[in-house]
Structure 1
Amino acid sequence: MIYRELNNNIKQFFLGTFIIYLVVRGVFFTFAGIFLKEAGFLEGFVGRTLSCTTLSIALSSVLSSYLIKNYGYKKIIISGIIFTGIGAIGLVSTLNPDMILFSASLMGMGFSMHMTSEGAFLMENVSEEKRVKVFSYNFALKNIGIIAGTFLGGRLSDLLKINFTGLSSLRMIFLLFATLLFSFTVPINKITENNVEREWTGLGEYLKSYRRVVRGQVVKFLIYNSTIGFGAGLVVPFFSIYLKYTLDIGNSLVGTILSIAQMGVAAGGLLVPLLAKKVGREKTVILCQLLSIPFLISIAFPQGIVIITISFLMRSTLMNLNHPIVQNLSMEMVDEDERPMLSSLFTLSGNLTRALGMVAGGYLMEKVSYNAPYYFTIIFYLSGTYLFYRLFGRGGSKNVSPK
């Protein structure tokens, strides 16, 4: 099995990835919207709060890339854990709107340090022939973490509601898992970085170096990533709210449905190497994105628990199946020393437009209907797929080099 052949750095990074995605994406990103709704805030404020986290991820990615270049991966990832944990605790410890928005931003800044490190760290620590498999395993582990977080968060929340209010039960769950987040420092601290002498680079000089990256096909790739990000921002962060208040169900069932959806994503992630080999990496992305559209339409017109669960499962699986491929393709577009910069731009472009999508999605849900954002997401997904086809589908990744 390839896992036995991986070095210690990759194994420790995998363990850390599982923990941080269980806490941040599995618990906080899933149930933060419900927590704010239970606290009396409207969908518009929920959208602004979630967008603060995502916008912070986007804007902090460039700074994270700069810090990684000067200090290395380990110190920056551990610093990110601290910021993420403090922000997560602050988010549920107050009902002051300004403090909630600040805490959401702090959490996003910390999480960006891990996200920006991810692609470049994996590329640096694995041989070329194993990269697609390693990216796929990392993707699967992230989603297994999300599964565990959504399922456990929902279950524990409903159990605590027997003796506490819905708001108090969610607050206790968040504080419990935020504490768990700090255990992420243990595996990351065991990583051994390459013994290279780092030459200090000024921030201004480092920002100028982005000119080497932002050109040619890379620009087109970032436009594609931004388009998909905006479409996702309209609906994905509101899935838990949509399920709970459209179907009138408990947190446990919300967590179960979203866990089942993530199971498909995790299982699909393990199939990526096979699909990429049989169909081709570029065709796999295009096919999966197109096939997800009918299930997105089905979610917009819910017809009971069973149908909507299947629709969530298929949409999430198909739309996320391509992530390790897209991440791998993006890292191949530039030289090794430029990968942290492109990784930060990948994070920046996708999360910046996702944050804007969250604001728009929250507004549409509050002012129009819970279904309205889905219609716009369909348009953006189709547009993004067409852009990807123009970039990769007609010539393959051999033509994407910006050099």
Structure 2
Amino acid sequence: MTQKLLLIGGGHSHAIALNLWAKQPLPDVEVTLISPQQLTPYSGMLPGLVAGHYTLAQTHIHLPALCRKANARFIEDCVTGIDTQAQNVVTASGQTLAYDRVSINCGITPATAVPGAAQFAIGVKPIAEFYPRWQSLLKQLEARQGSTPFQLLVVGGGAAGVELILAMHHYLTRSQPQHLSQQPVEFTLIQSGKGLPEGYPQRLQHKVQQTFADKGIRVLTDSRVTRVEQDQVIINGTKAQQAIAGDAVFWCTQAGAADWPQASGLITDKQGFIRVNQHLQSLNATNVFACGDIASQESFSTPKAGVFAVRQGPLLFHNLHASLQGKPLQSFQPQAAYLSLLAAGDRYGWGCRIGQGLFPTLSGHWVWRWKDRIDRRFMAQFPNGNGI
């Protein structure tokens, strides 16, 4: 009897699981991947893409080609709901797809509860939707006339906000196309806390802050954005409420979960992320798996970082394999400490181990080359953005 395995979303865990499935398929199992995009980006290389160091093809996995490699079906669509009793999912186009096992790795969406953020800010998550908007902004700058500085704002003081604004600064001030060279741009990062990036060791923060100062990037600390308007943001900061001019506002705050898992009856946490056990199974539907940013594992509090989704990929593959065969599942144990390598825009990097205070802070062009080798090696496993 043929069993049906549905994979919802083209995130890092699913890409790895499909790659492994191509090497070790199960007979009489039909695999289907559902994703709203044919190209799925590798988050670790997004700053390099924005900075101009990589092409779109080098930083994106071609999902239809990966599915062909794994003898899986690819459907370009969005899932809008799941019925765990009938064991089927519903898509935006109106399809109803049955499953015996389903896995969810659809990432996260911008948390845009701040008034005006959804209308006027550019969300960095989901990443697949961010890059076209960045390209649109470049065209806007190309067509812009006059000498009044263009105000580019990034909201969020985490690693993503730091890497993004440095990548944009590098592209627009050093390696930019000639037709943009006469367009002055001023850069501002707004963060609710202190230290860049927030949550990183002080030694690394000092180096990052010095880099921001050297590049003339303004940083507003202890400043919470309360409203986003068409050409400005309103913040509550140390100097009370004030308006900050913003021609383009990039939203890098903590993202949230899609609405449909909770609306479908899956047990979620307060933020809407699917709660899973040590086997990455939903707490109230054992034939539903979830991984990556959309999942919240019981007894652990891990950041929404790609390193965890990458580590979950092989275990997810094993557990889907085992579940379909009625065999024992393995447990996922998130690491207490993990290596974080940050790109500074101009082929320079910083590194530290989060959760391990004695690990030294690293910096230099060699750190960027190290990160570059790691990222390229990861992407070499998959068909790239050209589908080859």
TM bucket by the smaller chain?
under 0.3
TM-score, structure 2 as length reference:
0.26
TM-score, structure 1 as length reference:
0.26
Structure whose residues are more often strand by fraction: 2
Structure whose residues are more often helix by fraction: 1
Rg larger in structure? 2
Structure with the larger RCO, 1 or 2 (CA within 8 Å, 6+ apart):
1
